[in-house]
Amino acid sequence: MSATTLHYFYDPLCGWCYGAAPLVKAAREVLPVIPHGGGMMTGARRQPVTAQLRDFVKPHDARIAQLSGQPFGEGYRDGLLHDTEAVFDSEPPTAAMLAAEALAGRGLDMLAQLQIAHYVEGRRIADRAVLIEVAASLGLEAESFAVALDHQSGEAVQAHIQQTRAFMAQMAAQGFPSFVLETGGVFKRLDVASYLGRAQDFQTLLRNQIHSATAPATGEAFGCDADGCAL
């Protein structure tokens, strides 16, 4: 395996991270990708679904779909975004990521499936029962995953989020998604905004980074910071 690693700063409720999901998939075919959950909507930042939240995210979703080609399903648009009993909370799905990684090394597979559950199917991915069902859909044994999820919840996931934020500050990573390439202890931030919808080109960029240390491309700023998303 390559000595180069890609660090991926994400949040499971970050729409731009969903937009970047094909880039993550392409990257995993080239080099190891290590996910770091940043807790965008945790604690006081947890939000119930309201008309205000719905009106806020809709233009972001439209922009993400336009740039990335990622689908937003009816279950999300017409279901979850109108479910006033739902709460957007990043902590449980981040704990589920950690549980899937600890159990089977499948944290990134869990993230990809959680993004589909949220943005396409419109499911409540902050609910423990939904997390266990999503894990089972990946082939993870439900009871074992439930035990791992409980172990990774609470203080464990909160510590992970704090470690992620400290690492982001060290790397001057401004928000989610952010990508940092590590080669031989040297870290380089990659600006991947212009690669949305261009997964194969992003893969080529990474191959060039690995083999010839080509400087990363720049592009239009996008993404979500620790408090929310921006157009």
Please give the model's pTM, rounded to 2 decimal places. Answer: 0.90
Q: What is the pLDDT of residue 227?
A: 58
Report percent pLDDT > 90 for the chain: 86
Can you tell me which residue has the tokens 């094909």?
22
Please name which of 170, 219, 222 lies closest in space to residue 36, comparing C-alpha atoms. Answer: 170
Specify the pairing of strand 228-230 against strand 223-225: antiparallel
Report the mean per-residue pLDDT for the chain.
92
Q: What is the pLDDT of residues 29-74, one digit of tens each?
A: 999 999 999 999 999 999 999 999 999 999 999 999 999 999 999 9
Instruction: Rounding to the nearest 10 degrees, give the CA dihedral for residues 55, 179, 216, 113.
Output: -70
d(CA 134, CA 118) in angstroms, rounded, equals 11
First and final CA of the chain: distance in angstroms?
37
d(CA 177, CA 16) in angstroms, rounded, equals 7
What is the DSSP code (8-state) at residue 78? I
How remote is the C-alpha of 37 from its chain's centroid? 7
Q: What is the pLDDT of residues 146-170, one digit of tens each?
A: 999 999 999 999 999 999 999 999 9
How remote is the C-alpha of 109 from its chain's centroid? 11
- For domain 4-230, the CATH class is alpha beta
| pLDDT over 50 (residue 184) | yes
Q: What is the pLDDT of residue 228?
A: 60
Q: What is the pLDDT of residues 92-121, one digit of tens each?
A: 999 999 999 999 999 999 999 999 999 999
